Amino acid sequence: MTTLEFKNVTKIYNVRGSGQIRALDDVSFTLRSHQTIGLVGQSGSGKSTIAKILTQLETPTHGEVLLDGTPIPRGGRGLRKYRQQLRMVFQDPFASLNPYHSIRHHVERPLRLDKVVPSGEIDAEVRRLLERVKLDPDAVMERRPHELSGGQRQRVAIARALASRPALLVADEPVSMLDVSLRLGVLNLLADLQREQGLGVLYITHDLATARHFSDEIMVLNQGRAVEYGPADDVILNPKDPYTRELRAASPDPEEFFRTAATQAGGAR
């Protein structure tokens, strides 16, 4: 059981000439194994900043991030251990894979870096990972990213993220850039993997509907501040914050639509 605590994190960027930007303002949440948190917010709300802080591409200005009670080390072996425990799936399947290298290279690197399996078994492990994300290893391994579709690339990104057997996964808008018809497949894949491996998943999205479908808890971000945090159904059905209510009203809900249409039709008669 791994626990990640994001405690009162504030992130301030200094912009030359125009002062400061508060990307995050006193945000807190706890991510545990076997649990999914949906992080919902529009562009500029601070979602990506959280992802960057979690993957150590940025550091908090105030507050701290604790893994199993200890702060994240700044360097050395401790940082490597932390990185092995938390992996990220990026948003853009076209940009998150190096166009020059084969799929095999992408999935192999984490295995080699973290010495997950002995070097003799690396090939077999790459195949196993690709099969787990429902890709045919023989067809895909020697290809380059531009020869695959967006959905396939995102699956490769997931395989790469899972290679080091992390306890926690950050998925930064994993399906936003995919065709709508492919989104459910990838999301269901993530849900299955989470169940199988007991991952803790932070699912970042701007889409309230998929967040509800996929997460146990939901946190709503508005301009760097967490305006709502609680169990998914609670947040959706009984939103306390006006921003959350606006979000909910903005996403079309078929059930609601037909119910309203039926009521109006009934009233008109």
3-state secondary structure 42-69: CCCCCHHHHHHHHCCCCCCCEEEEEECC
State whether residue 116 is helix, strand or coil. Answer: coil
CA distance 27 to 161: 25
Q: What are phi and psi of 166, to 5 degrees?
A: -75, 165
Strand partners, 229: 219
Query: Which one of the spans 30-38, 156-164, 245-253, 259-267 is the region binding other proteins (CB under 8 A)?
Result: 156-164
Question: Smallest distance, Å, CB 47 to other proteins?
Answer: 15
x/- track of binding to other proteins for residues 12-51 (CB under 8 A): -----xx---------------------------------
The minimum distance between CB 104 and other proteins, in angstroms, equals 8
CB under 8 Å to 130, separation ≥6 — which residues? 103, 107, 136, 137, 140, 141, 156, 159
φ, ψ (nearest 5 deg) of residue 15: -100, 130
Q: Does 55 bind other proteins (CB under 8 A)?
A: yes
Count of positions on this chain that bind other proteins (CB under 8 A) = 48
Burial of 180 (0-12, 13-18, 19+ CB in 10 A): exposed
182 near other proteins, rule: CB under 8 A? yes
The binder of other proteins chosen from 64, 68, 142, 233 (CB under 8 A): 142
Cβ atoms of residues 251 and 205 within 8 Å: no
Does residue number 114 form part of the binding site for other proteins (CB under 8 A)? Answer: yes
Shortest reach from residue 138's CB to other proteins, in Å = 5
Judged by CB under 8 A, the residue of 63, 73, 78, 185 near other proteins is 185
Interface residues with other proteins (CB under 8 A) are 17-18, 55-57, 79-80, 83-84, 87-88, 90-92, 95-102, 109-110, 113-114, 134-136, 138-143, 148-149, 151-152, 157, 160, 164, 181-182, 184-185, 188, 192
